Amino acid sequence: MRSGRNIAIIAVTLIIICACMFCTKKNSAVDSPVNVVHPQVWHGLEAGPYAVGFTIRRFHDKSRKFAWGNEIEAVRPIQVLVWYPAMRDSNAKPLNVRDYIYSSATEIDFEAPGAKQREQALQVVRGIITSEGVEPALFDKSILRTTLAVRDAVPFDGKYPLILYSPGMGASAYQNFVAMEYLASYGFITAAISSVGVHMREVEGSDADIETGVQDMEFAIEQLRSFSGVDADNIGVVGYSWGGLIVMFLAMRNPGINAVVSLDGSLMVKAHYEQARALPEYDPSKINQPALLFIANAKQWKARTLEFYEQLQGKDIYLAWFHDCFHGDFASTIIELVLHNLDDAGRDVTRIDTAYAWQCRYLRAFFEAYLKEKEESHRFLERTPEANNVPAGIIRGTGTHKFTPN
Protein backbone atom coordinates (compact mmCIF):
# COMPACT_ATOMS: atom_id res chain seq x y z
CA MET A 1 0.00 0.00 0.00
CA ARG A 2 1.13 3.51 -0.73
CA SER A 3 1.26 6.16 1.96
CA GLY A 4 -0.99 9.21 1.81
CA ARG A 5 -4.29 9.81 0.12
CA ASN A 6 -3.78 9.98 -3.64
CA ILE A 7 -6.19 12.03 -5.70
CA ALA A 8 -6.07 12.43 -9.46
CA ILE A 9 -8.41 14.81 -11.25
CA ILE A 10 -8.37 14.00 -14.94
CA ALA A 11 -10.20 15.96 -17.62
CA VAL A 12 -10.35 14.67 -21.19
CA THR A 13 -10.08 16.98 -24.25
CA LEU A 14 -10.28 16.80 -28.04
CA ILE A 15 -6.63 15.89 -28.42
CA ILE A 16 -6.01 12.59 -30.20
CA ILE A 17 -3.66 10.26 -28.39
CA CYS A 18 -0.55 9.64 -30.44
CA ALA A 19 1.60 7.76 -27.93
CA CYS A 20 1.22 5.20 -25.18
CA MET A 21 0.71 6.57 -21.71
CA PHE A 22 3.54 4.53 -20.33
CA CYS A 23 5.94 2.10 -21.89
CA THR A 24 5.37 -1.64 -22.01
CA LYS A 25 8.41 -3.88 -22.08
CA LYS A 26 8.20 -6.82 -24.41
CA ASN A 27 8.02 -10.16 -22.60
CA SER A 28 10.26 -12.64 -24.36
CA ALA A 29 7.90 -15.43 -23.34
CA VAL A 30 5.15 -13.85 -25.43
CA ASP A 31 5.50 -14.66 -29.10
CA SER A 32 4.04 -11.43 -30.51
CA PRO A 33 4.81 -7.78 -29.78
CA VAL A 34 2.39 -5.01 -28.92
CA ASN A 35 0.17 -3.58 -31.67
CA VAL A 36 0.26 -6.60 -33.98
CA VAL A 37 -3.51 -6.38 -34.44
CA HIS A 38 -5.82 -3.40 -34.71
CA PRO A 39 -9.43 -4.31 -33.91
CA GLN A 40 -11.90 -2.11 -35.75
CA VAL A 41 -13.80 -1.25 -32.58
CA TRP A 42 -10.69 -0.19 -30.65
CA HIS A 43 -10.22 3.04 -32.64
CA GLY A 44 -6.47 3.27 -32.11
CA LEU A 45 -6.24 1.87 -28.58
CA GLU A 46 -3.04 -0.18 -28.41
CA ALA A 47 -3.21 -3.91 -27.68
CA GLY A 48 -0.87 -5.54 -25.19
CA PRO A 49 1.58 -8.38 -25.87
CA TYR A 50 -0.93 -11.20 -25.44
CA ALA A 51 -3.51 -12.48 -27.85
CA VAL A 52 -6.94 -12.73 -26.20
CA GLY A 53 -9.18 -15.74 -25.90
CA PHE A 54 -12.88 -15.66 -25.06
CA THR A 55 -15.14 -18.26 -23.55
CA ILE A 56 -18.45 -18.51 -21.74
CA ARG A 57 -18.97 -20.32 -18.44
CA ARG A 58 -22.43 -21.10 -17.09
CA PHE A 59 -23.32 -21.95 -13.50
CA HIS A 60 -26.38 -22.41 -11.33
CA ASP A 61 -26.54 -21.01 -7.81
CA LYS A 62 -28.64 -23.71 -6.16
CA SER A 63 -29.00 -21.66 -2.98
CA ARG A 64 -31.28 -19.12 -4.72
CA LYS A 65 -34.49 -19.44 -6.70
CA PHE A 66 -35.30 -17.88 -10.03
CA ALA A 67 -38.47 -17.77 -12.12
CA TRP A 68 -38.52 -17.98 -15.92
CA GLY A 69 -40.78 -19.63 -18.46
CA ASN A 70 -42.79 -22.39 -16.81
CA GLU A 71 -40.14 -22.91 -14.14
CA ILE A 72 -41.42 -21.08 -11.07
CA GLU A 73 -38.83 -22.54 -8.72
CA ALA A 74 -35.78 -22.82 -10.94
CA VAL A 75 -32.27 -22.35 -9.56
CA ARG A 76 -30.57 -19.05 -10.31
CA PRO A 77 -28.55 -19.00 -13.56
CA ILE A 78 -25.23 -17.12 -13.65
CA GLN A 79 -23.58 -16.78 -17.07
CA VAL A 80 -20.00 -15.50 -17.06
CA LEU A 81 -18.13 -14.12 -20.05
CA VAL A 82 -14.37 -14.64 -19.70
CA TRP A 83 -11.43 -13.10 -21.57
CA TYR A 84 -7.91 -14.44 -21.02
CA PRO A 85 -4.32 -14.23 -22.33
CA ALA A 86 -4.01 -16.67 -25.20
CA MET A 87 -1.61 -18.14 -27.73
CA ARG A 88 -1.61 -16.19 -30.96
CA ASP A 89 -2.99 -17.94 -34.02
CA SER A 90 -2.69 -16.00 -37.27
CA ASN A 91 -5.40 -18.16 -38.84
CA ALA A 92 -7.95 -17.60 -36.09
CA LYS A 93 -11.00 -15.46 -36.82
CA PRO A 94 -11.70 -12.77 -34.21
CA LEU A 95 -15.14 -12.20 -32.83
CA ASN A 96 -17.27 -9.35 -34.05
CA VAL A 97 -19.71 -7.22 -32.07
CA ARG A 98 -22.65 -9.38 -33.14
CA ASP A 99 -21.02 -12.44 -31.57
CA TYR A 100 -21.03 -10.66 -28.21
CA ILE A 101 -24.67 -9.67 -28.61
CA TYR A 102 -25.54 -13.30 -29.34
CA SER A 103 -24.16 -14.24 -25.91
CA SER A 104 -27.16 -12.54 -24.32
CA ALA A 105 -29.40 -15.26 -25.80
CA THR A 106 -28.22 -17.64 -23.06
CA GLU A 107 -28.15 -15.27 -20.07
CA ILE A 108 -31.11 -17.06 -18.48
CA ASP A 109 -31.72 -20.19 -20.53
CA PHE A 110 -28.49 -22.12 -20.91
CA GLU A 111 -29.75 -24.32 -23.70
CA ALA A 112 -27.73 -23.85 -26.89
CA PRO A 113 -29.58 -21.11 -28.78
CA GLY A 114 -30.74 -21.67 -32.31
CA ALA A 115 -30.82 -19.06 -35.03
CA LYS A 116 -34.24 -17.88 -33.84
CA GLN A 117 -33.05 -17.22 -30.27
CA ARG A 118 -29.94 -15.42 -31.45
CA GLU A 119 -31.97 -13.26 -33.81
CA GLN A 120 -34.39 -12.40 -31.00
CA ALA A 121 -31.48 -11.28 -28.82
CA LEU A 122 -30.15 -9.20 -31.69
CA GLN A 123 -33.55 -7.60 -32.32
CA VAL A 124 -33.78 -6.51 -28.70
CA VAL A 125 -30.49 -4.63 -29.00
CA ARG A 126 -31.38 -3.30 -32.44
CA GLY A 127 -34.60 -1.87 -31.01
CA ILE A 128 -32.76 -0.13 -28.17
CA ILE A 129 -30.09 1.36 -30.43
CA THR A 130 -32.43 2.50 -33.21
CA SER A 131 -34.63 4.17 -30.58
CA GLU A 132 -31.64 6.48 -30.02
CA GLY A 133 -31.87 7.63 -33.63
CA VAL A 134 -29.45 5.19 -35.24
CA GLU A 135 -30.47 4.01 -38.72
CA PRO A 136 -31.07 0.22 -38.81
CA ALA A 137 -28.67 -0.17 -41.75
CA LEU A 138 -25.88 1.52 -39.79
CA PHE A 139 -26.54 -0.71 -36.81
CA ASP A 140 -26.40 -3.82 -38.99
CA LYS A 141 -23.07 -2.67 -40.42
CA SER A 142 -21.53 -1.73 -37.07
CA ILE A 143 -22.18 -5.09 -35.42
CA LEU A 144 -19.92 -6.74 -38.01
CA ARG A 145 -16.88 -4.76 -36.88
CA THR A 146 -14.11 -6.96 -35.56
CA THR A 147 -12.86 -7.16 -31.98
CA LEU A 148 -9.64 -8.59 -30.56
CA ALA A 149 -10.83 -11.81 -28.91
CA VAL A 150 -10.86 -15.28 -30.45
CA ARG A 151 -13.39 -17.78 -29.17
CA ASP A 152 -11.92 -20.67 -27.19
CA ALA A 153 -8.32 -19.81 -28.10
CA VAL A 154 -5.55 -21.84 -26.47
CA PRO A 155 -4.68 -20.17 -23.13
CA PHE A 156 -1.20 -18.76 -22.67
CA ASP A 157 0.39 -20.64 -19.81
CA GLY A 158 0.77 -18.69 -16.57
CA LYS A 159 -1.08 -17.20 -13.61
CA TYR A 160 -2.97 -13.92 -14.03
CA PRO A 161 -4.96 -11.67 -11.69
CA LEU A 162 -8.75 -11.83 -12.04
CA ILE A 163 -10.87 -8.74 -12.75
CA LEU A 164 -14.67 -9.13 -12.61
CA TYR A 165 -16.99 -6.56 -14.21
CA SER A 166 -20.51 -5.57 -13.12
CA PRO A 167 -22.49 -3.69 -15.81
CA GLY A 168 -25.15 -1.00 -15.65
CA MET A 169 -28.66 -1.72 -14.39
CA GLY A 170 -30.20 -4.56 -16.39
CA ALA A 171 -27.34 -4.55 -18.92
CA SER A 172 -25.66 -7.57 -20.46
CA ALA A 173 -22.19 -8.78 -19.56
CA TYR A 174 -20.56 -7.75 -22.86
CA GLN A 175 -21.33 -4.06 -22.21
CA ASN A 176 -17.65 -3.05 -21.83
CA PHE A 177 -16.01 -5.71 -23.97
CA VAL A 178 -13.28 -3.39 -25.28
CA ALA A 179 -11.94 -2.70 -21.78
CA MET A 180 -12.15 -6.41 -20.95
CA GLU A 181 -10.21 -7.36 -24.09
CA TYR A 182 -7.68 -4.59 -23.49
CA LEU A 183 -6.89 -5.68 -19.94
CA ALA A 184 -6.67 -9.34 -20.97
CA SER A 185 -4.12 -8.40 -23.65
CA TYR A 186 -1.90 -7.05 -20.85
CA GLY A 187 -1.97 -10.18 -18.74
CA PHE A 188 -5.22 -10.23 -16.78
CA ILE A 189 -8.09 -12.66 -16.81
CA THR A 190 -11.21 -10.53 -17.09
CA ALA A 191 -14.79 -11.64 -16.68
CA ALA A 192 -18.25 -10.13 -16.62
CA ILE A 193 -21.76 -11.09 -15.57
CA SER A 194 -25.08 -9.56 -16.60
CA SER A 195 -27.21 -7.43 -14.30
CA VAL A 196 -30.24 -9.63 -13.56
CA GLY A 197 -33.16 -9.04 -11.21
CA VAL A 198 -34.02 -10.92 -8.04
CA HIS A 199 -36.45 -13.43 -9.55
CA MET A 200 -36.62 -12.33 -13.20
CA ARG A 201 -34.48 -10.80 -15.93
CA GLU A 202 -35.58 -7.22 -15.27
CA VAL A 203 -33.84 -5.12 -12.61
CA GLU A 204 -36.00 -2.59 -10.76
CA GLY A 205 -33.29 -0.82 -8.81
CA SER A 206 -34.66 -1.97 -5.46
CA ASP A 207 -32.75 -2.66 -2.26
CA ALA A 208 -33.20 -6.35 -2.98
CA ASP A 209 -31.63 -5.86 -6.41
CA ILE A 210 -28.53 -4.44 -4.73
CA GLU A 211 -28.17 -7.51 -2.56
CA THR A 212 -28.82 -9.78 -5.53
CA GLY A 213 -26.15 -8.03 -7.60
CA VAL A 214 -23.60 -8.40 -4.80
CA GLN A 215 -24.43 -12.07 -4.33
CA ASP A 216 -24.12 -12.71 -8.06
CA MET A 217 -20.64 -11.17 -8.03
CA GLU A 218 -19.63 -13.19 -4.97
CA PHE A 219 -20.86 -16.39 -6.59
CA ALA A 220 -19.06 -15.67 -9.86
CA ILE A 221 -15.78 -14.94 -8.06
CA GLU A 222 -15.95 -18.23 -6.19
CA GLN A 223 -16.60 -20.15 -9.40
CA LEU A 224 -13.79 -18.39 -11.25
CA ARG A 225 -11.18 -19.12 -8.58
CA SER A 226 -10.74 -22.52 -10.22
CA PHE A 227 -10.66 -21.18 -13.80
CA SER A 228 -7.41 -22.15 -15.50
CA GLY A 229 -4.74 -19.49 -15.01
CA VAL A 230 -6.51 -17.44 -12.35
CA ASP A 231 -4.32 -16.06 -9.57
CA ALA A 232 -6.95 -16.25 -6.84
CA ASP A 233 -4.83 -14.18 -4.45
CA ASN A 234 -5.18 -11.10 -6.65
CA ILE A 235 -8.74 -10.15 -7.49
CA GLY A 236 -10.09 -6.81 -8.67
CA VAL A 237 -13.61 -5.67 -9.46
CA VAL A 238 -14.94 -2.89 -11.67
CA GLY A 239 -18.49 -1.68 -12.18
CA TYR A 240 -20.22 0.84 -14.42
CA SER A 241 -23.19 2.95 -13.28
CA TRP A 242 -25.41 0.62 -11.17
CA GLY A 243 -22.55 -1.87 -11.30
CA GLY A 244 -20.32 0.77 -9.71
CA LEU A 245 -22.66 0.77 -6.73
CA ILE A 246 -22.68 -3.04 -6.65
CA VAL A 247 -18.88 -3.37 -6.54
CA MET A 248 -18.60 -0.89 -3.66
CA PHE A 249 -21.07 -2.90 -1.56
CA LEU A 250 -19.14 -6.00 -2.62
CA ALA A 251 -15.89 -4.46 -1.35
CA MET A 252 -17.50 -3.46 1.95
CA ARG A 253 -18.05 -7.07 2.97
CA ASN A 254 -15.27 -8.83 1.07
CA PRO A 255 -11.86 -7.65 2.31
CA GLY A 256 -10.25 -10.37 0.19
CA ILE A 257 -10.90 -8.27 -2.90
CA ASN A 258 -7.68 -6.40 -3.64
CA ALA A 259 -8.80 -3.40 -5.71
CA VAL A 260 -12.09 -1.78 -6.76
CA VAL A 261 -13.07 0.59 -9.58
CA SER A 262 -16.28 2.53 -10.17
CA LEU A 263 -16.98 3.88 -13.69
CA ASP A 264 -19.31 6.84 -13.11
CA GLY A 265 -20.98 4.72 -10.45
CA SER A 266 -24.45 5.28 -9.04
CA LEU A 267 -23.13 6.10 -5.58
CA MET A 268 -22.02 9.42 -7.06
CA VAL A 269 -25.66 10.20 -7.99
CA LYS A 270 -27.77 11.76 -5.24
CA ALA A 271 -30.84 9.54 -5.56
CA HIS A 272 -28.91 6.28 -5.52
CA TYR A 273 -26.58 7.52 -2.81
CA GLU A 274 -29.56 8.29 -0.57
CA GLN A 275 -30.97 4.84 -1.26
CA ALA A 276 -27.67 3.13 -0.52
CA ARG A 277 -26.78 4.94 2.68
CA ALA A 278 -30.16 3.99 4.18
CA LEU A 279 -29.24 0.31 3.98
CA PRO A 280 -27.84 -1.29 7.15
CA GLU A 281 -25.00 -2.81 5.11
CA TYR A 282 -23.76 0.60 3.98
CA ASP A 283 -20.41 1.33 5.63
CA PRO A 284 -17.73 3.02 3.48
CA SER A 285 -15.25 2.73 6.34
CA LYS A 286 -15.03 -0.98 5.52
CA ILE A 287 -13.62 -0.25 2.07
CA ASN A 288 -9.94 -0.52 2.82
CA GLN A 289 -8.98 -1.59 -0.68
CA PRO A 290 -7.36 0.80 -3.16
CA ALA A 291 -10.19 2.45 -5.09
CA LEU A 292 -10.40 4.32 -8.38
CA LEU A 293 -13.53 6.34 -9.16
CA PHE A 294 -14.31 7.83 -12.58
CA ILE A 295 -16.97 10.52 -12.86
CA ALA A 296 -18.61 12.18 -15.85
CA ASN A 297 -18.81 15.78 -16.95
CA ALA A 298 -20.05 18.93 -15.29
CA LYS A 299 -23.31 19.17 -17.24
CA GLN A 300 -24.65 16.38 -15.07
CA TRP A 301 -23.36 18.00 -11.89
CA LYS A 302 -26.75 18.81 -10.36
CA ALA A 303 -27.41 15.09 -10.00
CA ARG A 304 -23.99 14.46 -8.48
CA THR A 305 -22.71 14.07 -4.97
CA LEU A 306 -19.21 13.44 -3.68
CA GLU A 307 -20.37 12.39 -0.20
CA PHE A 308 -19.57 8.71 -0.75
CA TYR A 309 -16.09 9.58 -2.01
CA GLU A 310 -15.47 11.85 0.96
CA GLN A 311 -16.45 9.03 3.34
CA LEU A 312 -13.81 6.67 1.98
CA GLN A 313 -10.98 6.30 4.48
CA GLY A 314 -8.51 4.14 2.59
CA LYS A 315 -5.02 5.41 1.85
CA ASP A 316 -5.11 4.84 -1.89
CA ILE A 317 -8.18 6.58 -3.27
CA TYR A 318 -8.19 8.11 -6.74
CA LEU A 319 -10.89 10.33 -8.21
CA ALA A 320 -10.67 10.77 -11.99
CA TRP A 321 -12.89 13.43 -13.56
CA PHE A 322 -13.41 12.99 -17.31
CA HIS A 323 -14.56 16.48 -18.06
CA ASP A 324 -15.95 15.86 -21.57
CA CYS A 325 -17.60 12.49 -20.95
CA PHE A 326 -21.28 11.86 -20.53
CA HIS A 327 -22.49 8.88 -18.54
CA GLY A 328 -22.70 6.55 -21.53
CA ASP A 329 -19.13 7.30 -22.56
CA PHE A 330 -17.80 4.82 -20.02
CA ALA A 331 -19.29 1.82 -21.88
CA SER A 332 -17.77 0.64 -25.17
CA THR A 333 -21.03 -0.72 -26.62
CA ILE A 334 -22.74 2.67 -26.25
CA ILE A 335 -19.83 4.45 -27.91
CA GLU A 336 -19.60 1.93 -30.73
CA LEU A 337 -23.26 1.30 -31.52
CA VAL A 338 -24.72 4.74 -30.79
CA LEU A 339 -22.17 7.54 -31.02
CA HIS A 340 -20.30 6.12 -34.00
CA ASN A 341 -23.59 5.83 -35.90
CA LEU A 342 -25.03 9.29 -35.25
CA ASP A 343 -23.97 12.09 -37.58
CA ASP A 344 -26.01 14.69 -35.72
CA ALA A 345 -25.17 13.69 -32.16
CA GLY A 346 -23.72 17.13 -31.56
CA ARG A 347 -20.54 15.61 -30.14
CA ASP A 348 -17.05 14.92 -31.43
CA VAL A 349 -16.72 11.14 -31.54
CA THR A 350 -12.94 11.38 -31.79
CA ARG A 351 -12.99 13.12 -28.42
CA ILE A 352 -15.02 10.30 -26.91
CA ASP A 353 -12.74 7.64 -28.41
CA THR A 354 -9.82 9.50 -26.87
CA ALA A 355 -11.55 9.66 -23.50
CA TYR A 356 -12.38 5.97 -23.52
CA ALA A 357 -8.81 5.07 -24.43
CA TRP A 358 -7.57 7.01 -21.40
CA GLN A 359 -10.09 5.23 -19.22
CA CYS A 360 -8.66 1.89 -20.35
CA ARG A 361 -5.10 3.01 -19.76
CA TYR A 362 -5.85 4.24 -16.26
CA LEU A 363 -7.65 0.99 -15.48
CA ARG A 364 -4.59 -0.90 -16.62
CA ALA A 365 -2.21 1.23 -14.54
CA PHE A 366 -4.40 0.90 -11.45
CA PHE A 367 -4.75 -2.87 -11.66
CA GLU A 368 -1.08 -3.36 -12.54
CA ALA A 369 -0.18 -1.34 -9.46
CA TYR A 370 -2.42 -3.17 -7.01
CA LEU A 371 -2.84 -6.66 -8.47
CA LYS A 372 0.66 -7.10 -9.90
CA GLU A 373 2.56 -4.69 -7.62
CA LYS A 374 4.32 -3.05 -10.55
CA GLU A 375 6.33 -0.21 -9.11
CA GLU A 376 6.27 1.79 -12.33
CA SER A 377 2.46 1.67 -12.33
CA HIS A 378 2.45 2.93 -8.74
CA ARG A 379 4.70 5.79 -9.76
CA PHE A 380 2.51 6.45 -12.77
CA LEU A 381 -0.57 6.87 -10.58
CA GLU A 382 1.28 9.21 -8.24
CA ARG A 383 2.67 11.46 -10.96
CA THR A 384 0.75 14.24 -12.63
CA PRO A 385 -0.83 13.36 -15.98
CA GLU A 386 1.57 15.80 -17.66
CA ALA A 387 4.51 13.86 -16.28
CA ASN A 388 2.96 10.70 -17.73
CA ASN A 389 3.04 12.23 -21.22
CA VAL A 390 -0.66 13.01 -21.25
CA PRO A 391 -1.17 15.59 -24.04
CA ALA A 392 -1.34 19.21 -22.92
CA GLY A 393 -4.75 20.54 -22.02
CA ILE A 394 -6.29 17.40 -20.62
CA ILE A 395 -5.75 18.28 -16.95
CA ARG A 396 -8.16 20.45 -14.97
CA GLY A 397 -8.16 21.07 -11.24
CA THR A 398 -5.37 21.55 -8.74
CA GLY A 399 -4.96 18.14 -7.16
CA THR A 400 -8.12 18.38 -5.10
CA HIS A 401 -11.62 17.12 -5.84
CA LYS A 402 -13.09 20.42 -4.58
CA PHE A 403 -13.19 22.01 -8.00
CA THR A 404 -15.89 24.15 -9.60
CA PRO A 405 -17.41 22.50 -12.72
CA ASN A 406 -17.67 24.73 -15.76
Pair 300, 326: CB distance under 8 Å: yes
Regarding predicted confidence, which is higher, 22 or 346?
346
pLDDT at 227 over 70: yes
Regarding predicted confidence, which is higher, 223 or 301?
223
pLDDT at 383: 78
Q: What CA–CA distance (Å, rounded) separates 289 from 183?
A: 20
pLDDT at 401: 36
Closest CA to 187 of 347, 25, 386: 25
Enumerate the domain spans of the chain.
40-86+147-388
Q: What CA–CA distance (Å, rounded) separates 344 from 123?
A: 24
Strands (E), 246-331: 259-263, 291-295, 317-321
- What is the pLDDT confidence band of residue 350, given thresholds at 50, 70 and 90? confident
Q: What CA–CA distance (Å, rounded) separates 180 from 305?
A: 28
Closest CA to 200 of 270, 107, 272, 113: 107
Q: Give the residue-averaged pLDDT of 393-402.
A: 38
Other C-beta atoms lying within 10 Å of the C-beta of residue 385: 20
CA angle, 96 then 91 then 56, to 5°: 45
pLDDT at 243: 98
Lowest mean pLDDT among 24-38, 75-89, 225-239, 313-327: 24-38
pLDDT at 27 over 60: no
The chain-wide mean pLDDT, for the chain, equals: 85
Other C-beta atoms lying within 10 Å of the C-beta of residue 211: 15
Please determine, looking at this structure, whether the domain spanning 40-86+147-388 carries the CATH number 3.30.420.40. no
Dump pLDDT digits (tens) for 254-279. 999 999 999 999 999 999 999 999 99
pLDDT at 70: 61
Other C-beta atoms lying within 10 Å of the C-beta of residue 371: 23
pLDDT at 297 over 70: yes
pLDDT at 10: 33
The DSSP H or E segment spanning 306 is: none
Statement: the pTM of the whole predicted model exceeds 0.85: yes
Pair 322, 159: CB distance under 8 Å: no
Name the DSSP class of 34.
Answer: T
For residue 51, the cross-strand partners are: 86
Dump pLDDT digits (tens) for 41-82. 999 899 999 999 999 999 999 999 898 766 666 889 999 999
Dump pLDDT digits (tens) for 116-158. 899 999 999 999 999 999 999 999 999 999 999 999 999 999 9
pLDDT at 391: 63
Q: What CA–CA distance (Å, rounded) separates 88 from 333?
A: 25
pLDDT at 309: 92
Torsion of CA 172, 177, 183, 187, to 10 degrees: 90
pLDDT at 299 over 70: no
For residue 173, the cross-strand partners are: none
- Percent pLDDT > 70 in the chain is 83
Q: Which residues of 13-48 are buried (b: 16+ CB within 10 A; e: fewer)?
A: beeebeeebbebeeeeebeeebeebebebbbebbbb
Pair 166, 247: CB distance under 8 Å: yes
pLDDT at 340 over 80: yes
pLDDT at 114: 85
